[in-house]
Amino acid sequence: MGYEYIGITVLWFFLYGYLIVASVDFGAGFYAYYAKVTKKDHIMNQLISRYLSPVWEVTNVFFVFFFVGIVGFFPDSAYYYGQALLIPGSIAIVLLAIRGSFYAFENYGSKDNHLYMFLYGATGLLIPASLSTTLTISEGGFIEESANGVRLLYGELFTSPYSWSVVVLAIVSVLYISSMFLTYYASKANDQPALEQVRKYALFWSSPTIIASLTTFIALSQHNPEHYQKAIDLWWVFGLSVAFFIIAVLLIYVKRFYGWAFVAVMLQFFFAFFGYGASHLPYILQPYITLTSGATNETMGITLIIAFIGGLCLLIPSLYLLMRLFLFDADYVKGNK
């Protein structure tokens, strides 16, 4: 296996990590605001803020890690994506900036500011929508290269059923993953009223999630038959994903093993995400960048992998400590610390 395969696999892991932690974070922000509007905030907000406060910055780093890594391993992606994504990228930056800073303003500064809560909740849904544009354009057909440089074809993007189905999928998945996590967290905190509430959300968002996944598949078959065919060849991966989806929803439905239910959700997205990624290869950006043509030189590729291993030796124990102190410390979760 070449270093470029290791590179893309590592990056894909980080993007998957971001997908999970950011979904929990984005969805929680939305639910916190929704609870405030529907006057249920006394039930849920304590729970949400206890989880989110120590980890919001870590979530952001997963994202930074991915985009720094992809430019490092595949410098050509800086050229193509950089030129094409000026407007959507800038909008995503603005949304992320507003969300991150207003979270801190609200949490450490002026509690219960309605405007801050609104910005926090609304951006939680808009960010996944804007970031998913990147995955959409990687399928090809939305970018045009000429002597004047690279252009994003907005007309194509906004009229494509595929791009809209990706946006819908991104939003409903965020709400689904987040409510599944909060259900687990509420059961751990032994917080019955909150548990009742988020369990309902989890069950509610499960059907749109699976429907949107299927719609995206169908739209992909129209937009990029070649990619669709490769995905069909990997049918068993997507089959596993659906199986874990069923397990997760059943466990929540019978109100047992909430922790395992969330593990099943993680596996559901793991298989779907890696199946998607594997069938996308060899293209990073169709048809301009492939895994081998776009990869950085070998020296840098190997150095990055060494740096990566070194970094993980530092990160994994620290992340473990963070989780021990906040996520899996029963007293903390229950609000006694």
Is residue 83 within 8 Å of 150, Cβ to Cβ?
A: yes
Query: Residue 267, interface with another protein (CB under 8 A)?
Result: no
In 3-state terms, what secondary structure has residue 295? coil
Query: Residue 120, interface with another protein (CB under 8 A)?
Result: no
- Window of 89-97, 161-169, 197-205, 263-271 that interacts with another protein by CB under 8 A: 89-97
Query: Interface residues for another protein in 188-247 (CB under 8 A)?
Result: none
Residue in 89, 141, 161, 277 binding another protein, rule: CB under 8 A: 89
Residue nearer to another protein on the CB measure, 2 or 82: 82
The residues near 63 (Cβ < 8 Å, ≥ 6 apart) are: 18, 22, 96
Crossing angle (nearest 10°) for helices 56-73 and 75-84: 110
Residues that contact another protein, how many (by CB under 8 A): 67
Residue in 135, 153, 234, 315 binding another protein, rule: CB under 8 A: 315
Among 289, 225, 223, 312, residue whose Cα is nearest residue 76: 289
Distance (Å, rounded) from C-alpha 233 to C-alpha 94?
A: 39
Residue nearer to another protein on the CB measure, 185 or 205: 185
Report the DSSP pairing between strands 143-146 and 289-290: unpaired
Is residue 138 within 8 Å of 155, Cβ to Cβ?
A: no
Is residue 7 within 8 Å of 73, Cβ to Cβ?
A: yes
Residue nearer to another protein on the CB measure, 89 or 161: 89
Q: Interface residues with another protein (CB under 8 A)?
A: 53-55, 57-58, 60-61, 63-65, 67-69, 71-73, 75-76, 78-83, 85-87, 89-94, 96-98, 100-105, 108-110, 148-151, 296-297, 299-300, 303-304, 307-308, 311, 314-315, 318-319, 321-322, 325-326, 337
